C-alpha cells in the first residue's frame, strides 16, 4: 500500500514536470520574451522632439519640434492634428496580445513588405524609441509592431479607440502639411486690395493711415452718398488673421489650365514690412461646367469652393463659407 502510494506520487510529480516543461512551453511560446522587447512606447510626450518615418519605397519623413510648432522635413509647417495623433500613439499604445507562433511567417512577410521604420528622438538627439510598424491584423483590432533587432512581434492598439495604427503614420507628405494659407498679424497689415476682374465696379482697397483705415472704391462707376463705417472696416481687416484651406492642391494636374483663366477675384495683402501675399480665386463651378462663368459677386450662390493660386507658389482648394468674409462689395462698408 505504502509502496503504491509512493509510486503514485512519483507519477504525479513526473506528470507535473512534463506539463510545465513541455505542454505549457508549447502553449505559451512567448514565455521567454524579454521585457525590453516591448519597450518602444515613449513614456513622456514632451520628451519627443523628432519623429522619423521610413516607409518601403518612399523617402524619409522627418518631423521636428520647433518651439510651439512642428516642421515637416524642415521646410513646411506640419499639421497639428496629424502630429498630435502620432504623439498619442507613440506614448499611449498598449499591448493588445502576443501573436502565436503560427503567425510568425505571415508577420515577417508583412514586416518586409509594408513595414515602416519609426524612430523618436529627444532634444539632444538621443533615441527614445526605435521599432517597425507592420500591417494591421486581419480583424483590424491592432497592428503588428516589433522593436528593432528583437525577435518577438506584438499586436499593439490604442486604449478605447478601435482599429489599427498604420493610418496615423502611413500617409502622403502633402496630407501631413498644415493647411493654413495665411496667418497674419492684422495690426501690421498696410494694404488690402480686392479686385474683381469681371466686375470692376465692385472692386476696392483698404489702406492703413496711421491708426485708422481709408476705404477706396476702385470702380469709377461706384457712386454713393453715404459714408464708410470705420467699425465695419476694422472688423473686416480683423478677418484676415487666418485662412485655412480644405486641400493643398499644388500637385493638381489641372493647375496650369486653371490659373491661365481669368480669375473671379484677386486679393493682395501688403504688410508694413512690404511683404505681399497675392491670391487668385477661381470658382469650382466655372472649372467643372463650361457653360458657367461667374462674373459678379451677386452670382456666388452656387459656388461651394474655389481653386486658389498664390504668389508663394502653392495651389489650394478653399470652401466658400470660409472665404466669403473676404469677398465683399463697397456697399457692405457703408454706415448702416
- What would the DSSP string read from start to end of 133-183? EEEEPTTSS-EEEEETT-S--EEEE-SS--S-SGGGT---HHHHB--EEEE
Please compute, for residue 164, the number of CA atoms within 13 A of its CA located in the half-sphere on the CB side.
16
pLDDT at 221: 63
Give me the residue spans of the domains in the chain: 35-171, 180-333
- For the stretch 85-94, pLDDT in tens is 999 999 999 9
Separation between Cα atoms, residue 303 and residue 324, nearest integer Å: 10
Under the banding of pLDDT at 50, 70 and 90, the label for residue 30 is very low
The residue with greater pLDDT, 233 or 15, is 233
Instruction: Name the residue among 166, 144, 128 with its Cα closest to residue 41.
Output: 128
Contacts of 232 (CB under 8 A, 6+ apart): 332, 333, 334, 335
Q: What average pLDDT does this structure show over 291-314? A: 92
Hey, is 209 helix, strand or coil? strand
Instruction: Calculate mean pLDDT across residues 52-60.
Output: 90
State phi, psi for 58 to the nearest 5 degrees.
-125, 155
The pLDDT score that the predictor gives to residue 118 is: 97
**pLDDT value at residue 57:** 81
DSSP 294: -
Closest C-alpha to 213, from 228, 195, 223: 228
Q: Is 40 exposed, middle or buried (0-12, 13-18, 19+ CB in 10 A)?
A: buried
Give backbone dihedrals phi and psi of 95, rounded to 5 degrees, phi first.
Answer: -65, 120
In 3D space, the residue among 248, 242, 239 whose CA is nearest the CA of residue 79 turns out to be: 248
pLDDT for 133 equals: 96
The whole-number pLDDT of residue 34 equals: 53
At residue 5, the 3 state secondary structure works out as: helix
Cell 503588428 maps to which residue?
144
Alpha-helix runs per DSSP H in the chain: 2-18, 24-27, 80-92, 104-114, 173-176, 230-238, 255-259, 284-288, 320-323
* pLDDT of amino acid 297: 86
Mean pLDDT of the chain: 88
Question: Which residues, 6 or more positions from 233, have their beta carbon under 8 angstroms from its beta carbon?
Answer: 206, 213, 215, 333
pLDDT value of residue 25: 43
Residue 222's pLDDT band, with cuts at 50, 70 and 90, is: low
pLDDT greater than 60 at residue 11: no
Q: What is the pLDDT of residues 106-165, one digit of tens each?
A: 999 999 999 999 999 999 999 999 999 999 999 899 999 999 988 899 999 999 888 899
Closest to 298 (Cα-Cα) out of 333, 329, 262, 325: 329
Sheet holding 127-136, edge to edge: 76-77, 69-72, 61-66, 50-54, 116-121, 127-136, 143-147, 154-157, 94-97
Check pLDDT > 80 for residue 182: yes
269 contacts: CB under 8 Å, gap ≥ 6: 182, 184, 189, 191, 192, 193, 240, 276, 277, 278
In this predicted structure, the answer to whether residue 266 has a pLDDT above a threshold of 90 is yes
Amino acid at each position: 500500500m505504502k509502496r503504491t502510494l509512493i509510486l503514485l506520487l512519483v507519477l504525479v510529480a513526473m506528470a507535473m514536470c512534463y506539463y510545465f516543461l513541455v505542454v505549457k512551453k508549447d502553449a505559451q511560446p512567448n514565455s521567454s520574451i524579454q521585457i525590453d522587447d516591448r519597450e518602444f512606447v515613449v513614456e513622456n510626450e514632451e520628451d519627443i522632439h523628432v519623429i522619423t518615418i521610413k516607409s518601403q519605397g518612399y523617402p524619409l519623413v522627418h518631423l521636428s519640434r520647433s518651439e510651439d510648432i512642428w516642421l515637416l522635413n524642415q521646410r513646411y509647417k506640419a499639421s497639428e492634428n496629424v502630429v498630435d495623433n502620432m504623439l498619442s500613439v507613440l506614448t499611449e499604445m498598449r499591448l493588445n496580445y502576443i501573436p502565436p507562433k503560427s503567425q510568425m511567417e505571415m508577420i515577417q512577410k508583412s514586416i518586409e513588405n509594408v513595414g515602416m521604420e519609426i524612430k523618436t528622438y529627444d532634444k539632444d538627439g538621443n533615441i527614445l524609441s526605435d521599432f517597425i510598424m507592420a500591417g494591421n491584423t486581419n480583424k483590424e483590432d491592432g497592428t503588428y509592431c516589433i522593436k528593432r533587432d528583437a525577435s518577438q512581434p506584438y499586436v499593439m492598439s490604442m486604449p478605447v479607440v478601435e482599429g489599427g495604427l498604420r493610418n496615423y503614420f502611413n500617409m502622403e507628405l502633402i496630407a501631413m502639411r498644415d493647411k493654413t494659407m495665411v496667418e497674419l498679424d492684422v495690426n501690421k497689415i498696410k494694404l488690402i486690395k480686392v479686385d474683381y476682374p469681371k466686375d470692376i465696379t465692385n472692386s476696392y482697397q483698404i489702406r492703413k493711415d496711421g491708426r485708422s483705415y481709408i476705404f477706396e472704391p476702385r470702380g469709377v462707376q461706384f457712386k454713393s452718398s453715404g459714408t464708410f463705417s470705420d467699425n465695419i472696416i476694422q472688423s473686416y481687416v480683423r478677418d484676415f488673421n487666418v485662412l485655412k484651406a480644405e486641400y493643398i492642391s499644388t500637385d493638381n494636374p489641372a493647375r496650369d489650365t486653371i490659373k491661365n483663366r481669368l480669375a473671379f477675384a484677386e486679393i493682395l495683402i501688403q504688410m508694413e514690412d512690404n511683404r505681399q501675399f497675392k491670391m487668385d480665386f477661381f470658382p469650382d463651378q466655372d472649372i467643372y461646367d463650361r457653360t458657367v462663368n461667374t462674373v459678379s459677386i451677386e452670382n456666388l450662390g452656387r459656388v461651394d469652393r474655389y481653386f486658389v493660386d498664390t504668389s508663394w507658389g502653392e495651389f489650394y482648394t478653399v470652401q466658400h463659407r470660409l472665404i466669403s468674409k473676404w469677398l465683399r462689395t463697397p456697399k457692405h462698408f457703408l454706415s448702416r
